[in-house]
Structures are given as structure tokens and as C-alpha cells.
A and B are shown apart, each in its own frame.
Chain A
Amino acid sequence: MMLVLTISLVLFTCAIFVALYRIIVGPSMPDRVVALDMIGVNLISLVAVFSIVLHTHAYLEVILIVGILAFISTVGIARFIERGEIVEHEHDD
């Protein structure tokens, strides 16, 4: 059981480094946004596996907060790329 958890921790860390490579090199802006979202998802999984390893539920609120912030930041950056402004003053429909 411990071996499986250790292997999954190492693989999640590797996935974060792969996404980091995409953020630094990434040819276009949408690549970087998707890589940032991927880092958020992998961070959530990492915290979940850590709370299994340490037999605690003290970190479960971190999962919710990181999930909310990753979602909102991805939506915000996606809007900025597509429209050029993040918050509209008045909807045009």
C-alpha cells in the first residue's frame, strides 16, 4: 500500500514538472493556461494522496480552496485571451 502511494506521489510530481515545462516553453498563451490548470489538478491530487499517507483530514479544506481558485483563475485568463477584457461593464446581448 505504501509503495503504491509513494509511486503515485512521484508520478504526480513528475506531471507537475511536465506542466511547468509547458508553461515556460509553451508556444501560445492557451497552452500556458491549460498547463496552469493541470498544475492545479495535480496539486489537488497530491494533497489528497498526502492526507492518505499521513492519516489525517486536516488538509481536505486545502483541496476545496485550491480547486475553487484554480477554476476561477482559469476562467478569468480564458476570458482575457478571448475578449481582451476580464470583467465587462455591460453585457451586449
Chain B
Amino acid sequence: MKSNDLILQTSTRVVFFIIFLFSIHIFFAGHYTPGGGFVGGLLMASAIVLLLLAYDFKTVKEVLPFNYLGMTAIGMLIALTTAAGSLVFNVPFFTHWYDYFDFPLLGKTSIHTAMFFDIGVYLVVVGITLTIIEMIGGDS
């Protein structure tokens, strides 16, 4: 059957980037307000699911050539390394640390080790969600 989803494909090209930016906003807003790595990762995964709905596996694989299982492993490594890094400084596991830095464009900004842990969570959520979707919806 010949498919004709011009409206969906055209709107997806715009909506994908809106959802992507919103996921990054949610990721950084998670520091003081609701949000964080988990919700941001789920939003990113839903944006890629929208791409999969509008196009197909082959096109999305060409546009985003990621190995999602490897992405999960890298995210897990980042999260656990950040958590275990506190053991080097002789403080309990998962102890966090922050300091203020002056950046040229952003001004005075606080860098928090919990953010690196959240990057790991983000990568794990995106990777494992898309691995499951590829396994369920992929070719049999």
C-alpha cells in the first residue's frame, strides 16, 4: 500500500527539534525544579519515537547512527564513575560536591557532580527505551 503522510512528516521535522530542546530544558531545570535526567531522557526517547512513526527504521538509523545498547553502557559507566568518585576523597558513596566557576559567556555558574550523574541517567534512559522499542517493533 502506498503511504501518504506528508503532513505528519513535515510537522515532525519541526516538532522533533521542539521536543529535543524541551528535553534539554527539563534536564537542566531538574537542578532546582521538577525535572531531571529521567524525564529528559524519556522526552528525548519520545522525540525519536515520533521520528520512527513518521519515517521508518532504515531512515532513522541513517539519521541517528547510534548503537543504543552501547549508549546505555556508557551512561551506566558515567553514572557509576561519578558515584564511586566520592570514594577517592574518603567520603561515603554517592556524596556530591559543587563549586562556583566563572565562565566567559554564562557568568558565575555552579558546577555540581550530580549533573554528571544525571547525564549518565539521561543516556541510560534514552538507550534502554530505544533498545526495547527496536526489539519489540523491529524485524522478526
A contact set with B: CB distance below 8 Å? 58, 61, 64-65, 68-69, 71-72, 75-76, 79, 83, 85-93
* Nearest neighbor of B26 in chain A, beta-carbon distance: A61
The reply to whether A92 and B53 contact each other, CB–CB distance below 8 Å, is no
Whether B33 lies near A93 (C-beta < 8 A) is no
Tell me how many residues of B have a C-beta within 8 Å of chain A.
Answer: 28
Please tell me if the beta carbons of B57 and A68 are within 8 angstroms of each other in the complex. Answer: no
Q: Which residues of A contact B50 (CB under 8 A)?
A: 72, 75
Asked if A90 and B39 sit within 8 Å, CB to CB, the answer is: no
User: In this complex, what residue of A is CB-closest to B19?
Assistant: A68
| Complex Cα gap A14–B12 (Å) | 33
* A90 / chain B contacts, CB cutoff of 8 Å: 56-58
State A71–B7 Cα separation when bound (angstroms): 14
CB–CB B52/A68 < 8 A: no
A86 to B57, CA, bound (A): 11
Q: From A59, which residue of chain B is reached at the shortest CB distance?
A: B34
B116 to chain A, nearest CB (A): 23
Check if A61 sits within 8 Å of B3, measured CB to CB: no
Contact: B46 with A72, CB < 8 Å?
A: yes
CB of B139 within 8 A of CB of A89, answer: yes
What 0/1 pattern do residues 88 to 122 of B give for CB contact below 8 A with A?
A: 00000000000000000000000000000000000
Question: Which 10 residue pairs spanning A and B have beta carbons closest together?
Answer: A88-B56, A87-B137, A87-B52, A91-B56, A90-B58, A89-B57, A89-B139, A72-B50, A90-B56, A75-B53
